[in-house]
Amino acid sequence: MNETRTAMSTSPVTMARHRSAPDSARRRPAFARLAIALLGAALIGMLAVLPEARGATSDPTPSDPAWLVAARQELRSRQFEAALATLRKAGDTSSAEWHNLMGYTLRSGTPPDLATAEIHYRKALELEPRHRSALEYYGELLLMKNDLAGAEAMLERLNKACRFGCEELRDLRAAIARHKAARK
């Protein structure tokens, strides 16, 4: 009799009859959690393949060319003339990051060369339209030229490039806020 009862209690009909609503409700959240986890993993995977634009003073990665490591170190030390010499020697004009760093170096030097820096930022963005550092730095250059509308246009582009927010977006937003406050 126990054998029959065990067999009957595990039959699909018996299981369906005794399944309670709370039990099936508990399974749904587990499924939802799994779906959310898979969606999150897919998003992270998509973000991982996007090119990462890095700032003038970013830490080096093993794949960075020697000129990039040297130029960033010089910029971190505020040695703008040395960074300019390193970048000119490298002459990697097909690199958006090279143009971005040229723009940054030229606008940060004494005196700043805003016209040539702007040419380099535009070229960086032509090569890589979503280059976050170039968008931020070009926006800052536009503020130096008192072009608030242009800086806000770079902020809008940066907002699209930084889907979930990023340091460059926060920095340019803060620079625009400071610029507006100084104008009052």
Query: Mean pLDDT of successive 10-residue segments in the chain (184 residues)?
Result: 48 48 54 57 40 56 91 96 97 96 96 97 98 98 98 97 92 97 90
What is the model's pLDDT at position 32?
59
Ramachandran angles phi, psi of 133, nearest 5°? -65, -40
User: In whole angstroms, what separates CA 176 from the centre of its chain?
Assistant: 19
What is the model's pLDDT at position 163?
85
What is the model's pLDDT at position 53?
44
SS3 166: coil
What is the model's pLDDT at position 15?
46
CA separation for the pair 118, 104 (Å, rounded)? 9
CA separation for the pair 174, 180 (Å, rounded)? 10
What is the model's pLDDT at position 21?
46
Please give the C-alpha separations between residue 49 and each of 42, 43, 91, 133, in angstroms, as whole numbers: 11, 10, 26, 18
